[in-house]
Amino acid sequence: MRMWLMVTLQAAWPCLFGLAMQHYPTTWGHYDMCKSQVYTDDGLTWDYMACQPEAADMTQYLKVTLDPPDITCGDPPETYCTLENPYMCNNECDATTEELAHPPELMFDFEGRNPSTFWQSSSWRKYPKPLAVNITLSWNKTIELTDDIVITFESGRPEQMVLEKSLDYGKTWQPYQFYATDCLDAFTMEPKTVQDLTQFTLLDIICTEDYSRGYVWKYDKTVRFEIKDRFALFAGPRLHNMASLYGQLDTTKNLRDFFTLTDLRIRLLRPATGATMVDEGNLSRYFYAISDIKVHGRCKCNLHANSCVFDKEKLSCECEHNTTGPDCGRCKRNYQGRAWSPGSYLPIPKGTANICVPNNVGPVTRVCDDELLRCQNGGVCVNNIRCQCAPGYSGLLCEKVRCDGEAGCPLSDSYQTSSPSAGIILLLLTLLRSTWALAL
Ligand SMILES: *[C@@H]1O[C@H](CO)[C@@H](O)[C@H](O)[C@H]1NC(C)=O
Ligand SMILES: *[C@@H]1O[C@H](CO)[C@@H](O)[C@H](O)[C@H]1NC(C)=O
Ligand SMILES: *[C@@H]1O[C@H](CO)[C@@H](O)[C@H](O)[C@H]1NC(C)=O
Ligand SMILES: *[C@@H]1O[C@H](CO)[C@@H](O)[C@H](O)[C@H]1NC(C)=O
Ligand SMILES: [Ca+2]
């Protein structure tokens, strides 16, 4: 008798748990699913988890604005000389001729072409008045950066530049990073590099000289804002410990906000001159030209959506968990049974969905909690709306032993072949119950 029971138990348990497990995502920790169907004692139900859209090339979805608006070269047509050699003046810009025009779109087209395509400003004709240009990239949607911002210059890299960001659709701006050949002189800031940052100073805004010096290094044309190096302060040098980063992002709002934005602004303040003196006799040598800008990120959906669509020129999250709004930032109508809150990356790997629950649930119809309305017999309270019962139990609070009523037992199918006797099933369930009681 005892032997027989053991065998049946071994057969039944993996079956029960196997069913539940096979519906969990196989890619743990990617937060790519918002919900999955699971079998519980109450039949097929949904299990909700934190989810986010995949990271993507965000330059496909932005609007670019230049200030001053007429700063692009070619109207009227101009001839440019190279910085390296003032006698080489064969770069022509003419806005009315497609082959000779350099409009802003060419900063975002597919690169890898030879020669590269680029936007170009008009030259520094009004020297010594500064040649200042703002390039503003707007998404009209909150996004989260996932990789370095990389700006590739066709001309020499600027001697002074600021990268700024906005979190409120361009109403207010904060600097992200300052760039200069001489940080003290340009911004009265000590020069630093991203390697000087620690976990405690990660949010500091620094001025770096790493990307401005030396137009002689003509292959070194990029200016970066280093996201990965900052992530690495928490996730380790090869980002192998993303769990640690996600944990930090979850608990530190400032850190999360640091990588979040709606707009970026590149403020070009002084072009490359390649020397200490500006050659006033030939100002056609000085201008800005950018061939490519990379911005990699994902829509911010507060961990309530795993996809984000671009429709009618606008990005928006496809909200789940009964949330709504462009960032899934509030509960749907009739689902305001408790305050909205973002999903959470914790616990790793599935996180917590924090779904919105129906109205009129109120305090009265709150089914379970961790204090007074505890789920019994090993049941787990899910979002205060239901108890997920341990095998062998049912009822609102898992207070009922399954199969002891008239309702019949859905488990019985799996026992039927080995045991036609209802008496033995009852015995088995009693044993199951005591095992659970022991386990808890
Ligand atoms: C710049 O110098 C070159 C070579 O002397 C000359 O051809 C060109 O016209 C000059 N440009 C200006 C604006 O003086
Ligand atoms: C560029 O943006 C800054 C603020 O971010 C503003 O002060 C400035 O007037 C703008 N325009 C130019 C041409 O710099
Ligand atoms: C930004 O998106 C909102 C909807 O979320 C829309 O009403 C508004 O017109 C958009 N603004 C721009 C400048 O596209
Ligand atoms: C929203 O609530 C309804 C009713 O409870 C439910 O059927 C639906 O699956 C919920 N949607 C999500 C995405 O959770
Ligand atoms: Ca290009």
pLDDT, tens only, 347-372: 888 899 999 999 875 555 677 887 77
- Ligand 2: centre distance to CA 376 (Å): 62
- Ligand 3: centre distance to CA 315 (Å): 10
Mean pLDDT, residues 371-386: 82
Please name every residue paired with 63 in a beta bridge, in sequence order, or none if there are none: 138
CA-CA distance, 305 to 71, in Å (whole number)? 40
Q: CB count, 10 Å around CB of 205?
A: 14
pLDDT in tens, 223-261: 999 999 999 999 998 888 888 999 999 989 999 999 999
Q: CB count, 10 Å around CB of 329?
A: 17
Nearest Cα residue to atom 5 of ligand 3: 326
Pocket lining: 326 vs ligand 3, CB cutoff 6 Å: yes
Nearest Cα residue to atom 1 of ligand 2: 134
Give the angle subtended at the CA of 234 by the CAs of 224 and 173, to the nearest 5°: 45
Buried b (16+ CB within 10 A) or exposed e, 351-375: bbbbbbbbeebeeeebbbeeeeeeb
45-49, 328-332, 381-385: which is most confident: 328-332
Q: By the 8 A CB rule, do 176 and 163 touch? A: yes
- Ligand minimally distant from the alpha carbon of residue 323: 4
Lowest mean pLDDT among 276-290, 389-403, 423-437: 423-437
Residue type, 271: P
**Cα torsion angle, 173, 178, 179, 182, sign:** positive
Q: Which of 72, 166, 267 to mutate to test the pocket of ligand 2 (most atoms within 8 A of CB)?
A: 267
Pocket lining: 322 vs ligand 4, CB cutoff 6 Å: yes
Mean pLDDT, residues 144-170: 96
Pocket lining: 325 vs ligand 3, CB cutoff 6 Å: no
For residue 214, the model assigns a pLDDT of 62
Q: DSSP letters along 279-338, please?
A: -TT-GGG---EEEEEE-EEEE--TTB-S-EEEETTEEEE---TTEESTTS-EEPTT--SS
pLDDT in tens, 162-186: 999 999 999 999 999 999 999 999 9
Q: Which two structure tokens, joined as six digits, stand for 335?
A: 């689902």
Residue 220 pLDDT more than 70? yes
Residue 422 pLDDT more than 80? no
Residue 387 pLDDT more than 50? yes
- Ligand 5: centre distance to CA 280 (Å): 30
- Ligand 3: centre distance to CA 141 (Å): 9
Confidence of residue 25 (pLDDT cuts 50, 70, 90): very low
Q: 27 or 174: whose pLDDT is higher?
A: 174
Confidence of residue 21 (pLDDT cuts 50, 70, 90): very low
